[in-house]
């Protein structure tokens, strides 16, 4: 029997110093995606160092012991590839993609960035100002900033509720030595996964990684404080601004990435707001014309999670739109979805996974994120099977578990002067 060309062969090796190397072999591809995943993010930061991980993410692109900033970008982009990075609440990732013949150089660039960043005083000063402009840009973008207002409501007075970028005040307190010390203490071998996907074998990846493995610092994986929840009633946070429309974000605390209910939440999200077939899009936009965009997004963390419903709404229609949103939450809580609706959501979710399997970036992301966050890899096939096993009753059950007043937080950036009357629908 001929073997399908799209089969991925996955291998995972943990080296003696704790560094993990993982590959998804896709011999039918011409490119390779590679990422250095670090189990560190904003929720690991003490208050006075809020933004340090994001600052480090920026600074490693500014030059190393053997490459200038321009040489870093040219080494990848000059070969037709791309290079980027991101910081989240729990993860930092430095990643690139290029033709398979350039894998050695691309890996060398990424390792060089993490192992010997220059962190010169001049570069630190310049990039601090760049990040401050990034923060200012966020403040000027209500659609983005409302998410930060929501996070502060969901997770008040704790790292989960702080901005990933930090603040101008915390940035001003950091210098090159601060970043260097934080790197040495937290970006250690046991806290790093090097993931590659594409036209490369596991043996090849191990051979290339061996050049750098011994240079990563040793040390234990860092810990972070647990999420603290003291909420007993719905919370509404209004930031009054003279905007053209109201940006609203309704956050619902859910469960962690380890909770088996996450598969039911995945389908609940499709039903409630992930695409144009969802209930919220059809009700709020198509039937009532109250919003141009409305969508929902789930996030899962080590010990908690959330489901966020976001919308841009005509300010005169905010109360009505909020009632419609909450009506849909109640309907899903009080009545299981129809079997046909669940089948459609299941086909969509599984289809999205199938399409993503064709991408070296997605395969690399699956490997890196699961291994750094969970310490193990769950295959796309297993995820598809678990999704296919979700029943209408299980979707209703998670709606009952989480669509509760004490789990709801509403953030608004709006010309409204008062949020009076907007909390009532949240009592469900």
Strand order in the sheet with 20-25: 9-14, 20-25, 192-198, 31-38, 92-99, 82-87
Angle between helices 176-186 and 52-59 (to 10 degrees): 100
d(CA 194, CA 36): 5
Token digits of residue 61:
């692109």
* Marked catalytic residue, from 25, 45, 57, 90: 57
Active site annotation includes 369:
no
- Rounded to an integer, what distance in angstroms lies between the CA atom of residue 218 and that of residue 186? 9
Which residues neighbour 45 within 8 Å (Cβ) at sequence distance 6 or greater? 51, 52, 53, 159, 162
Contact (Cβ atoms closer than 8 angstroms) between residue 37 and residue 371? yes
* Residues carrying an active site annotation: 57
């Amino acid at each position: 029997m001929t073997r399908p060309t799209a089969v991925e062969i996955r291998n995972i090796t943990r080296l003696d110093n704790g560094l993990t190397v993982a590959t998804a072999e896709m011999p039918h591809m011409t490119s390779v995606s590679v990422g250095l995943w670090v189990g560190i993010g904003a929720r690991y930061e003490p208050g006075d160092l809020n933004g340090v991980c994001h600052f480090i993410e920026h600074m490693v692109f500014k030059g190393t012991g053997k490459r200038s900033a321009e040489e870093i970008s040219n080494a990848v982009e000059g070969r037709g590839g791309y290079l980027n990075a991101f910081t989240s609440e729990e993860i930092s990732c430095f990643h690139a993609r290029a033709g398979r013949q350039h894998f050695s150089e691309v890996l060398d660039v990424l390792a060089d960035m993490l192992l010997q960043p220059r962190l010169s005083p001049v570069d630190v000063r310049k990039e601090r100002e760049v990040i401050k402009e990034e923060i200012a840009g966020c403040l000027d973008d209500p659609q983005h900033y409302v998410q930060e207002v929501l996070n502060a409501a969901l997770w008040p007075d704790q790292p989960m509720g702080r901005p990933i970028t930090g603040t101008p005040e915390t940035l001003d307190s950091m210098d090159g030595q601060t970043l260097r010390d934080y790197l040495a203490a937290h970006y250690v071998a046991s806290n790093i996964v090097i993931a590659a996907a594409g036209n490369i074998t596991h043996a090849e990846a191990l051979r290339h990684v061996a050049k750098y493995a011994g240079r990563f610092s040793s040390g234990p994986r860092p810990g972070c404080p647990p999420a603290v929840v003291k909420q007993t009633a719905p919370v509404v946070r209004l930031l009054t601004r003279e905007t053209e429309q109201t940006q609203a974000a309704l956050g619902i605390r859910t469960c962690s990435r380890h909770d088996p209910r996450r598969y039911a939440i995945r389908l609940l999200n499709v039903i409630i707001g992930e695409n144009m077939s969802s209930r919220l899009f059809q009700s709020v936009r198509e039937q009532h014309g109250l919003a141009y965009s409305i969508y929902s997004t789930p996030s899962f963390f080590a010990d908690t999670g959330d489901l966020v419903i976001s919308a841009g709404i005509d300010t005169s229609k905010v109360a009505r739109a909020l009632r419609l949103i909450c009506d849909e939450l109640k309907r899903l809580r009080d009545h299981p979805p129809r079997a046909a609706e669940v089948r459609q959501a299941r086909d969509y979710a599984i289809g999205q996974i199938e399409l993503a399997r064709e991408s070296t970036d997605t395969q690399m992301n699956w490997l890196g994120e699961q291994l750094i966050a969970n310490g193990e890899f769950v295959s796309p096939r297993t995820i598809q099977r678990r999704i296919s096993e979700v029943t209408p009753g299980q979707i209703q059950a998670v709606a009952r578990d989480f669509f509760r007043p004490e789990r709801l937080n509403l953030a608004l950036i709006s010309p409204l002067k008062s949020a009076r009357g907007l909390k009532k629908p949240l009592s469900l």
